[in-house]
Structure 1
């Protein structure tokens, strides 16, 4: 997902800067502004989430989930307006697949250690099983 988003972000940037009608282009080219910006932001989110998930932090799971959802929405919307290739469709489908995988409780349990989360710290001292 991050690789598709990273590659499509560079392609969108190249098309936007090299388009002969700059800055007066149609909506099929204008949508690349959103694809480029959101794509690069989600790549940063994916990289950060990998680091946080390696430390088994729930924050990494939330960042991965939100980056996946944004990748799915932006990829599918970009494909709707600019369907010259299937790159953005594949990016959107990869984002949906990652959202579905991350929403499985078993997957979250494998990625996140609930004993190290701060919202559970108060329950341990009160005799509540965590």
Structure 2
């Protein structure tokens, strides 16, 4: 961070403060209002489509969870603002993963608005603020235009893949909760949901952990992102073949394939992690 100019570090610190305050003050209110709108809309929807009833419990749990993650992320951004202005290296990966939380969580909370909630999609404000902080921290750090472009593409796609994978996990749990013949599984199209949902959730965690590690140019971060992306591709692609009523799994497979491509391109890999990490001395 010290190679980044003092002015750029000051901008990054100010951005961290603004995003942090938003996550502590405004985002909790936005999440609560959005949750109540989603639940109210669902209560009407399930009168004609009872298979969506499970969404009430899922959203009641996961909206507050992402709100809590955003709150802690806001605290982290505020705590790291002054050290960031001083150029302390640890603040860079922390700021990236902290701003990724509202970007991912806000996008997840927005998705019900596509299907059954009317009005302005308030959760997108949370996602936009998170993205502004994420991209700001990423691009303000000193590097040449090529490195900025590579990191912008890779980190953005990893965030998109994490968001989509988490959402697919929610969808799997929603459908399993109201499946025919429950507690039995009526064929492949139902028990495959017990695979794709959990795999996508595990991949989401791995992708989030990979972000700060890649920010530090750690090969462990590259491998985590690779394994997570490959896992999503290998589970979403066959699920799309089995469950053809939606293209959501196809979109997940495409995002995973794009992430794999970016990670595996030799020039991109060199930019992300260098040629190799120095070996530890023996003894």
TM-score calculated relative to the size of structure 2: 0.41
- Aligned-residue RMSD, C-alpha: 1.5
Deviation at 1:114, TM superposition (A): 4.5
User: Equivalent residue for 1:3?
Assistant: 163
1:13 to 158, 173, 180: 173
Which protein shows a greater Rg? 2
1:100 to 237, 244, 261: 261
User: Equivalent residue for 1:83?
Assistant: 244
1:60 to 217, 221, 236: 221
Secondary structure, counterpart of 1:49 in structure 2: helix
Runs of 4+ in 1 over 2 A off after TM superposition: none
Q: Deviations over 1:27-68 (max 9, x none)?
A: 111110001110111001100111211111011001101110
Aligned pair 1:44/2:205, yes or no? Answer: yes
- Gap runs ≥5 in structure 1: 123-130
Structure with more contact order per residue of length (Cα contacts < 8 Å, sep ≥ 6): 1
User: Equivalent residue for 1:72?
Assistant: 233
User: Equivalent residue for 1:125?
Assistant: none
Give me the whole-angstrom Cα distance separating, in 2, the residues matched to 1:20 and 1:83. 18
Secondary structure, counterpart of 2:192 in structure 1: helix
Deviation at 1:20, TM superposition (A): 3.4
